Structure 1
């Protein structure tokens, strides 16, 4: 008899230790329709219907208890996915994730809301939240996973802004998101992709104030490339074209004077490059080719100091190409 009582007590202790150990922060609870679930801190996150479940989730969220709020929202979406409260639950889930620093996960949950409910009443607000998350990554926010903030992720800014544009190209944040794709690409050292993003701003939103900003940014992107080019004048030519187009399109812009200054600097840079190519051919005694480039300096940038030097070169080299006089008979 004593042995039977002892074994019963041991079994009860073991079962009690498994189901709800004294130091367990999340007791295991069984509910009909849900099965076994852990409840964090022993706090109930369950309600009998979706309306009360949503209210419970929002009460936790209002208290900044985002962990329990997330449990409530997830429970609602799992148990009542087709309920009227599901959209608000999905939105609340994303909000709480963002509050806990899981911004990329939050972006994904906002996107899931739009995928499930494309006509949601929360459409504009979702796009605004996604746009704000993109700005966080653009500003240097570190991606968070498993409770740890890892590395800066500007490539996520590109992904998010592109998705915002895809979701609502003509929404209040559409033009700004498209422009910021270009800014993020520049941070990623992808000037060609940045330029294409800026071009899309001008193509899609020609009357938006950001079209002017994007046009100027195109010139700047080419200018930065030209600064690195020694003998390849393609970037410099494209930058000159971009700033020239800017001055034609936006003659009253407050960036006009700056565009002119860049244009002068680029023309000087272009002349220098052409002159150096001419010098290269001259040093290899290819005088005809050298003269072609010296003459280009004079024709394209006649007011520069390089043009003065090119004229002297032309005067010096031209006689060398003159046909030799016929031998006396």
Structure 2
């Protein structure tokens, strides 16, 4: 009897000691002392494999390893938990282990595995909080692989969840979903949805100030594409004024703002913003767009000499379609100044120097109008015939046909009768 009592006492003592070790390990876990918690929990699971709490201790130890930054070790430990111990865990811990495994897989560059793990998590009906996190993380992976429609659907699901269970989904998760949805919709050229998502992000109290400039840029670009230039200008101006904006974002915003102001016929403001761009970003690869925009704004303020000087910079330093258009605008400026022979010379250069049918047709058509103003109707009709024959599918060919159908004006001897 005494021996039995001693044995029972020893078992109780061991059980108390084991329970105490587990309580201490879990206390470290709850205190977020991740390295110590991982060591204590994994040691407990290894030394007490038959304890009913061993599986839970191993799962929490693996999670703690991940949160301590030991990503590679955590990945191996979590993979073992998911492969061998998942059914022994309460559902909430199953879900946490799956989410943490997906996180380590992402950190190790295992995107496909991470996506599969997150899909498994979402099928397991996790809590709204964890589901929202899983949806946003899976959407990011889908974005990176180019599956933008799938990503957008996942993000809309996350936003619906945040709306229906606002207390369960952190504001930061909703903000992240809005931002990523805005990016997806913009890349999909669904500009109205992109603008609304990014504007909601900018208004959200949990939005990241560091991302505000890029969000405003996407929203502004989207409003521009929708032809909503007042709204676009306001958003693009926010980017330029934000000290946290990246240099490239500021440059892009300036270009688009200059274009928006031109569309609004706010010519002086457009001139100022294009000049500012050229002053701040003289070596930017898209300098020629700003240089052309500067000329366009000056031309519409009847400052033709300055406009010609601006266009000439594009013609001299750029070889693309914008140069062809700049050459055309030089001719148009001279035409408006009634320098008709000079205008003809510059307009014909568009066809001679560049291989852009639309602008060749434009230059020839306008040269014909100059010849008409010079009272050289045959030369004018020759140019219009050339437009019709060489560029029949252009809008300029339609205009040229209309001109050719009109009777030739001839000066009568002795003056008008």
TM-score of the aligned structures, taking structure 1 as reference length: 0.45
TM-score of the aligned structures, taking structure 2 as reference length: 0.37
Higher helix proportion: 2
